[in-house]
Every structure is written in structure tokens, then in C-alpha cells.
């Protein structure tokens, strides 16, 4: 049930260029919407009053690249290269998830997001091993009441002799996922798939740079035929880029459109960035995994100079938490370091500001998902996806610059309240209405069960299989899709 809330006397970091950052400012939330923002507003009689003293109101974070299902695999990839990630996650653990594991992964992944102030995410879901897995994945997100796009992934987790029963469908039809995507689209999402729907249907082709161009085009066009709000794919991954130039090739065929959201993209050439800008394609940088795994310098700031729509993603929670503070810090300081190193003599100014990166993590993400008019800033008329961050902890006292405090000082424990669509999902520092100890118990059991199933995996066989299609020096062998 949504109500009327009146936040009184907060510091509002709106990200809205007209409103800006305003101290001693009120915010009125009615139903799903932000109704008014400004000093000395009148509170309606029926409003729940929230004291905004020593608190910052800011837009919820928007995460544009996540494989939400991996929460049971926490810490597994922290010392992995991308190659090792392929071996263990995409070829072993991905073949060990039952539908109930997928449900818990997506449900708890969404709860983790809300707790950390991420109110909207793109779930690039490539754990759809059967129709039951698909249903579980959507339900997990819906039950957590997070905003976002569920992107139906065509990736095939491989089947081995040791794969446990119930994990992978034995559907005879190799393209069964195409029909299943249509089924999921019709079963769980509104016909309009409207921008204001809390969860929208999206689509994720199988690894687009490892398929033939014709196959990739077929998949992208199929997603479009289903009315996908977002079509997302990994592309141009730094040291793992095999010179495929997918963006250039799609541009030549006039297939780049604003529904495309490409993740990573560090090795896009200038002509490709130009094409991205001209066609309204969006980009997602994932600092933790890109910097760790050889995917190159995050492209966001460079692409922004080209006028592209840029945003930030958490990517895999098997490697790092769903924490946008961490991602903002990494991408900002990595870029400053790069620019400082490139400067002649001592740099007298930093190249990018805290405000720049906070914009990427909020309004940039909203724009990348086609939701610029719906969320991403504290603006009257937008949906109320908001954070109230307390400035009373040891790390947040005093605050001389609220934007810098959010970017370089705050963490999830400072977030007192989170609204999604006008509903309070975190209250007094706790997830509202969630019995976490009970949920946690189920999650731990699910993780233990997956680890147990994975023990049967034959890593020699997996490594042999992956190496048969992967050349560690020269990149992928394009002739062999779907490692
Ligand atoms: Zn990814």
C-alpha cells in the first residue's frame, strides 16, 4: 500500500539540472510519484512526516548490468581472470542451479540491491536452464518489488555426464528458449511493457561476439519482435576482444537502435562510439570486473566525451557486492589516475568530479534503460525511487559537500530509508517486511547444495572443452559459438 510521505528539511541532491542540490528542502511523495520538491512546502494532513535533519535525499541507484542469480556463489571469482570465470561459473556452477536456487538468487540479489540503495536494475539472466528456471527468475525479482528489466538470456549452460537431474531441460528442440521467452513475455509482463511498469521484459542474446553475425542479428531482431524494452549484450571486452567490431557491423546494417544496451565495451573504436552516440545505443561499465579481469579501462567517461549514454553496472555478485558506492569509487579514481598519468607535468585539476560519477550511477542508468522521464532524479512527476542517507555516523560527520559525501564516504549502513515506486522498502536501516534470518537460512542451504553438486564436475573435461573454442593468445574462435 502506498501512502503520502513528507520529508522535511533534508539536503536534496536531486541530480535534476534545474533543481540542483538544495539544503533545508522538502520532498512530497504521493502514491507512486514525487509530487513536489522545494523549501517550505506545506505538508498534507494525511502525510507521514519524515524528519530530514542531517540527511541527504538522492535518487535511487540504477544498475545497468547484473547477473543477479550468482548470489550463492559469493567470493568464488574474487581471484579469477575472465577465463577462469568462464570455466567455473559459465561451465560448472551454471549447470548446478535448480529452479529454486534461481528464485532465491534473484530474490536475495534484489533484496541486497534495495538494502544498498539500488532501486532499479537490468538483470541479464543467463541461468535459464528450463522453463521452471525462467519462471523462478522472474518471480524472484517481482517478489522483492525492485524496479528493473528482466532480460531473458539465450545462453546455454552446458550439460555433462555429471550434471544432476532437474538442472537442465532435456527439450529436444535446441531453440526452445525462443518459445520460452515468448511464453515468459506473455505470462509475466503487461502487453504494453510500459516504461512505468515496475518490472519490464527485456532480452539478452547468447554471447553475441561468439555467434555468427547472422545469428546475432536473428536474436536481436527476435527480441525486438517480442517488444523487449531493453536488449542487452556483452561487447568489445578489452583483452578479450577478438576484433569482431560488432557495433560497426550492426551500424552498417542500420541495426543499432536505442533499445540496445551494451556492457563493458572498453575496446570500442572512435567510429563505433560515434555510431553509439548517433543511434542512441547505451553503454554499461562494470568497474570491478573490468579492472580485475582484463576487460580494459572502463569506457564510461571516454564515451561520455563522445556524447554517448553511459551508466554503471555491478555485474557479478560472485565477485563483488551489489554496492554502487564501491563501483562509483573505482571508476572515478581509475579514470582520474589514467588522466593524471597522461598529463604533462603535475595535474592542477582533477579530470572528473564526484557529481559526474553520481550522475552516471543514477540518471545515466535511467537513461540507458529508457527511463529518463520515469526515474533517475528527484524531480516532481517522476516515480518516487529515493534514498534517505543519514549523515550521523562517524564516517558521515560533518558533511561539507553532500555530493562528495555520497560518492566517497557513505556506505549502505548510512542509508536509512529506500523508496521504490513510492513504497518504503527499507525503513530505519532495515529491509521492510523481510524476515531476513529465515531467508538467509534458505540462501545458505541453497549455496551449500550448489557447492555440493559442483563437486562432481570434471574440471579437466570442462577445461578441455573451453580450450577447444578459446585461444588464450588470440581471443575466441568465432566458428565455435557457446563455450
Ligand atoms: Zn556480464
CA 75–ligand 1 middle distance (angstroms)? 16
> Over the stretch 167-217, which tens digit does the pLDDT of each residue have?
887 776 778 999 999 999 999 999 999 999 999 999 999 977 778 889 999
CA 313–ligand 1 middle distance (angstroms)? 9
Looking at residue 2, its pLDDT comes to 54
Burial of 334 from C-beta contacts in 10 A (0-12 / 13-18 / 19+): middle
CA 340–ligand 1 middle distance (angstroms)? 29
pLDDT at 478 over 50: no
CA 315–ligand 1 middle distance (angstroms)? 5
Contacts of 50 (CB under 8 A, 6+ apart): 5, 6, 7, 8, 388, 417
For 276, the grid coordinates are: 553509439
Looking at residue 472, its pLDDT comes to 62
Q: How confident is the model at residue 152 (pLDDT cuts 50, 70, 90)?
A: very high
CA 437–ligand 1 middle distance (angstroms)? 30
CA 181–ligand 1 middle distance (angstroms)? 19
Q: What is the mean pLDDT of the chain?
A: 94
CA 303–ligand 1 middle distance (angstroms)? 19
CA 459–ligand 1 middle distance (angstroms)? 22
pLDDT at 31 over 70: yes
CA 285–ligand 1 middle distance (angstroms)? 10
CA 142–ligand 1 middle distance (angstroms)? 21
CA 325–ligand 1 middle distance (angstroms)? 19
CA 234–ligand 1 middle distance (angstroms)? 6
Over residues 406-428, the mean pLDDT reads 98
**Element spanning 309, H or E:** strand 309-312
Residue 248's CB is within 10 A of a number of other CB atoms, namely: 14
CA 125–ligand 1 middle distance (angstroms)? 9
CA 92–ligand 1 middle distance (angstroms)? 16
Over residues 283-300, the mean pLDDT reads 96
Contacts of 65 (CB under 8 A, 6+ apart): 122, 124, 232, 261, 263, 284, 286, 313, 314, 315
Contacts of 339 (CB under 8 A, 6+ apart): 347, 350, 351, 352
Q: What is the CA radius of gyration of the chain?
A: 22
CA 441–ligand 1 middle distance (angstroms)? 27
pLDDT at 241 over 80: yes
CA 8–ligand 1 middle distance (angstroms)? 40
Looking at residue 349, its pLDDT comes to 95
Identify the residue whose cell numbers are 536531486: 14
CA 330–ligand 1 middle distance (angstroms)? 18
Q: In terms of Cα–Cα distance, which of 351, 354, 426, 446 is closest to 103?
A: 446
Q: Torsion angle, CA of 482/183/260/269, rounded to 10 degrees?
A: 10
For 313, the grid coordinates are: 553496472
CA 182–ligand 1 middle distance (angstroms)? 23
CA 409–ligand 1 middle distance (angstroms)? 27
pLDDT at 477 over 90: no
CA 445–ligand 1 middle distance (angstroms)? 25
CA 263–ligand 1 middle distance (angstroms)? 7
Over residues 145-152, the mean pLDDT reads 98
Over residues 238-257, the mean pLDDT reads 91
CA 395–ligand 1 middle distance (angstroms)? 32
Q: Tell me, what DSSP letter sits at residue 382?
A: S
Q: Which domains does the chain have, with CATH numbers?
A: 4-59+374-431 (2.30.40.10), 62-368 (3.20.20.140)
CA 434–ligand 1 middle distance (angstroms)? 28
Amino acid at each position: 500500500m502506498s501512502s503520502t510521505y513528507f520529508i522535511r528539511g533534508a539536503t536534496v541532491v536531486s541530480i535534476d539540472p534545474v533543481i540542483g542540490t538544495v539544503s533545508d528542502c522538502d520532498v512530497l511523495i504521493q502514491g507512486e510519484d514525487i509530487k513536489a520538491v522545494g523549501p517550505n512546502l506545506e505538508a498534507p494532513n494525511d502525510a507521514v512526516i519524515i524528519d530530514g535533519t542531517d540527511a541527504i535525499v538522492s535518487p535511487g541507484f540504477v544498475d545497468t548490468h547484473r547477473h543477479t542469480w550468482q548470489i550463492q556463489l559469493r567470493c568464488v571469482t574474487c581471484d579469477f581472470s575472465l577465463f577462469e570465470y568462464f570455466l567455473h561459473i559459465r561451465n560448472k556452477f551454471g549447470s548446478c542451479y535448480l529452479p529454486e536456487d534461481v528464485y532465491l538468487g534473484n530474490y536475495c540479489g534484489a533484496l541486497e540491491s534495495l538494502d544498498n540503495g539500488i532501486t532499479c536494475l537490468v538483470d541479464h539472466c543467463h541461468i535459464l536452464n528450463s522453463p521452471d528456471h525462467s519462471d523462478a527468475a522472474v518471480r524472484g525479482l517481482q517478489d522483492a518489488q525492485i524496479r528493473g528489466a528482466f532480460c531473458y538470456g539465450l545462453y546455454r549452460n552446458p550439460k555433462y555426464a555429471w550434471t544432476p537431474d532437474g538442472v537442465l531441460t532435456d527439450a529436444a528442440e535446441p531453440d526452445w528458449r525462443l518459445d520460452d521467452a515468448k511464453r515468459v513475455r506473455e505470462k509475466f509482463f503487461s502487453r504494453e511493457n510500459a516504461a512505468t511498469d515496475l518490472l519490464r521484459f527485456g532480452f539478452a542474446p547468447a554471447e553475441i561476439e561468439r555467434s555468427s553475425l547472422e545469428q546475432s542479428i536473428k536474436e536481436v531482431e527476435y527480441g525486438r519482435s517480442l517488444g523487449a524494452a531493453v536488449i542487452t549484450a556483452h561487447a568489445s571486452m578489452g583483452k578479450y576482444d577478438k576484433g569482431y567490431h560488432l557495433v560497426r557491423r550492426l551500424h552498417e546494417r542500420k541495426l543499432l537502435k536505442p533499445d540496445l544496451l551494451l556492457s563493458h565495451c572498453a575496446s570500442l573504436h572512435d567510429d563505433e562510439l560515434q555510431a553509439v552516440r548517433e543511434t542512441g545505443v547505451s553503454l554499461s561499465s562494470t568497474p570491478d570486473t573490468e579492472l580485475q579481469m582484463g576487460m580494459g579501462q572502463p569506457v564510461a567517461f571516454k564515451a561520455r566525451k563522445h556524447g554517448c549514454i553511459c551508466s554503471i553496472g555491478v555485474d557479478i555478485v560472485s565477485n563483488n557486492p551489489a554496492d554502487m558506492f564501491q563501483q562509483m569509487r573505482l571508476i572515478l579514481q581509475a579514470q582520474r589516475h589514467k588522466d593524471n598519468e597522461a598529463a604533462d607535468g603535475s595535474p592542477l585539476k582533477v579530470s572528473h568530479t564526484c557529481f559526474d560519477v553520481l550522475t552516471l550511477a543514477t540518471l545515466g542508468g535511467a537513461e540507458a534503460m529508457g527511463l529518463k522521464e520515469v526515474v533517475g532524479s528527484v524531480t516532481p512527476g517522476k516515480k518516487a525511487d529515493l534514498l534517505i542517507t543519514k549523515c550521523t555516523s562517524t564516517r558521515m560527520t560533518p558533511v561539507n559537500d553532500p555530493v562528495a559525501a555520497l560518492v566517497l564516504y557513505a556506505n549502505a549502513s548510512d542509508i536509512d530509508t529506500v523508496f521504490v515506486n513510492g513504497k518504503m522498502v527499507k525503513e530505519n536501516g532495515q529491509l521492510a517486511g523481510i524476515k531476513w534470518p529465515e531467508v538467509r537460512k534458505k540462501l545458505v542451504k541453497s549455496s551449500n547444495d550448489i557447492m555440493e553438486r559442483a563437486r562432481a564436475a570434471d574440471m579437466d573435461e570442462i577445461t578441455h572443452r573451453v580450450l577447444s573454442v578459446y585461444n588464450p593468445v588470440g581471443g575466441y574462435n568465432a566458428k565455435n559459438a557457446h563455450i
